[in-house]
């Protein structure tokens, strides 16, 4: 079941530049990590029960690098928090929704994630994320 907006993913050329505005607003970067498989550095900035996720490419052929090349910096995806991503993944598939991965994979922060193609989500790249604490 989906229970909140977990975070908003924002593509940036530089986390060091991108974080400044949020820090001016009194928010703090919780942690920064590299997700090697995605070619991306990720900075999580908690904001109430949601977060801002800054995404900086680490190589030219990564999905974020391609996004920046085509569209420039800006909102990349919206992430919905799930308490059972396998069930949500199955439900979407059963309804013919186009998901990007054969099954949920491990993303930033050890969360299990799946993505819904923008063509199936009104033009929005939708991420579903289940925190690691929910793993059996």
Binding site for Zn ion (CB under 5 A): 9, 53, 79, 127
Q: How far is CA 26 from the centre of its chain?
A: 22
What's the rounded Cα separation, in Å, for the pair 3 and 25? Answer: 26
The distance of closest approach from Cβ of residue 49 to Zn ion in the complex, given in angstroms and rounded to an integer, is 15
Q: How far is the CB of 17 from Zn ion (least distance, A)?
A: 19
Q: How far apart are CA 65 and CA 30, in angstroms?
A: 23
Q: Which is nearer to Zn ion, 65 or 79 (CB)?
A: 79
Measure the CA–CA gap between 132 and 136, rounded to whole angstroms: 9
Please, what is the minimum distance in Å from the beta carbon of residue 32 to Zn ion? 14
Toward Zn ion, which CB reaches closer, 6 or 92? Answer: 6
């Amino acid at each position: 079941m989906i229970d909140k907006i977990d975070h908003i993913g924002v593509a940036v050329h530089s986390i060091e530049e991108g974080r400044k505005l949020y820090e001016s607003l009194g928010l703090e970067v919780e942690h920064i990590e590299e997700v090697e498989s995605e070619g991306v550095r990720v900075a999580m900035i908690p904001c109430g029960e949601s977060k801002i996720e800054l995404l900086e490419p680490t190589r030219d052929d990564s999905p974020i690098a391609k996004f920046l090349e085509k569209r420039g910096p800006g909102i990349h995806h919206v992430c919905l928090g799930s308490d059972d991503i396998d069930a949500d993944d199955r439900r979407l598939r059963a309804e013919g929704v186009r998901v990007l991965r054969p099954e949920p994979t491990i993303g930033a922060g050890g969360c299990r994630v799946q993505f819904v193609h923008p063509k199936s989500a009104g033009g929005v790249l939708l991420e579903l994320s289940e925190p690691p604490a929910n793993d059996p």
